[in-house]
Amino acid sequence: MPNDQSLRAHYHLLLGLNKDWEVEEVKLSMEARAVHIRLRHTGRSAVICPGCQSRCSIFDHAPERKWRHLDTMQFETELRARVPRCQCERCGVKTIGVPWADKHSPFTWMFEAFGVAVLQSAASTIEACALLRIGWEGAQRLMDRAVQRGLARRSLEDFEHAGMDEKASAAAMTTSPRSTT
């Protein structure tokens, strides 16, 4: 078992964190087969307003949030952090963006990319949900967000209906906002 400091440095590297964030704690639960990683924002002064991209001072820190991350050796891995909120002259108080996840996502970028790949290649959504250990709602969310970002061309509903009605999914594709000219 590596010492605590090298474990934290290891996760800092794996998560691709910048110098504004540090891994404060890595908690391994053998019973729950889970790894909980607590991150702390260490940037002292200026942060970037997510609304207008200007530099602002930190107002406070939002309550702790959780993000599902890629498993660590089959241990379900979760990131936890209190994200700073900035005080912007133009936009007011806003929660800043984090390097590991999109604004409202309960998943990290890496988990999203992996999740979408699993959903697209699994025989069924039920199978993908079991592999990823997420619920139907989580799967739906992953696919919706992937479609929005252009990672996937069809939503989960289209996948479900594709076998029964190819025409319906083709129609759904042509009516998606991305395909308008």
Helices (H), 30-165: 109-121, 125-132, 136-148, 156-162
- Residue 98 burial class via C-beta count within 10 angstroms: exposed 0-12, middle 13-18, buried 19 and up: buried
Q: Which residues pair with 66 in a beta bridge?
A: 80
**Shortest reach from residue 88's CB to Zn ion, in Å:** 3
In the complex with Zn ion, the residue whose CB is nearer, 57 or 121, is 57
In the complex with Zn ion, the residue whose CB is nearer, 87 or 176, is 87
**Shortest reach from residue 28's CB to Zn ion, in Å:** 39
In the complex with Zn ion, the residue whose CB is nearer, 86 or 116, is 86
Binding site for Zn ion (CB under 5 A): 49, 51-52, 88, 90-91
**Shortest reach from residue 42's CB to Zn ion, in Å:** 22
HSE-up of 39 (CA within 13 Å, CB side)?
A: 28
